[in-house]
Amino acid sequence: MCKLNHVLFCIAALIFFLPASEAKTHKPKDGSAYATVLESFYQRTIPGIRGAPITVNYHFIILWMGTSYPKSFEWKSESGTKPCSMTKAHKAANRTGKFHQQQRDYDIEKIEAGNIHKGDTLMLTVAGNTLPNGVRTIPEPQKNSLLFKTRNGDTFFLPIDTIEKKHDIIMP
């Protein structure tokens, strides 16, 4: 009987103290001192094969203002959290010609996280999102934000208010 009371007491204490320990987890802090969002947009790639899924890529152009480099970025939306790839971005010169809408607005180059410095412009890309067949529009996500970690492990967020739709890329 004494052992049963002891077990029940331990279970009750565990249930009582478990929510309190979860409440102490650290929430991301405002990251506006580290980065500024210059542009956010998405582009659909429409395949040339009928019935193939439409691919949607989200892009975020940010100006990095932190003195320490970011380790990683993640895109958080109502559908979950996905990792972002990082590249250094340079605004492309005005595009002209017959296929100017199919050309990129930014020239990009690979960059390692340790080589990111204050004043760098970065393109963060969330790739590989697909729309079900027949869906031609993207519902506007709710509660969008970019999460990033600095090299010392702190987590920050940047809210994304609007996401512009760029021209579709139509594959032959």
Task: Classify the C-alpha dihedral 27-138-160-55 as positive or negative.
Answer: positive
Cβ contacts of 155 within 8 Å, gap of 6 or more: 26, 28, 29, 147, 148, 149
Which of 11-20, 63-72, 83-92, 150-159 is predicted with the least confidence, judged by mean pLDDT?
11-20
Dihedral of the alpha carbons of 160, 166, 168, 169, in degrees to the nearest 10 = -90
Q: Which domains does the chain have, with CATH numbers?
A: 29-170 (2.60.40)
* Cβ neighbours of 73 (radius 10 Å): 22
pLDDT tens digits, residue range 96-140? 554 444 556 788 899 888 899 999 999 999 966 654 444 444 444
Task: Classify the C-alpha dihedral 159-74-105-89 as positive or negative.
Answer: positive
pLDDT at residue 168 greater than cutoff 90: no
Percent of the chain with pLDDT over 70: 69
pLDDT tens digits, residue range 3-34? 655 544 545 554 555 444 444 445 778 899 99
Output the pLDDT for position 141. 41
Counts for the chain of helices (H) and strands (E), in that order: 1, 12
pTM: 0.71
Nearest alpha-carbon partner for 147 in 137, 136, 158: 158
Distance CA 9, CA 5 (A): 6
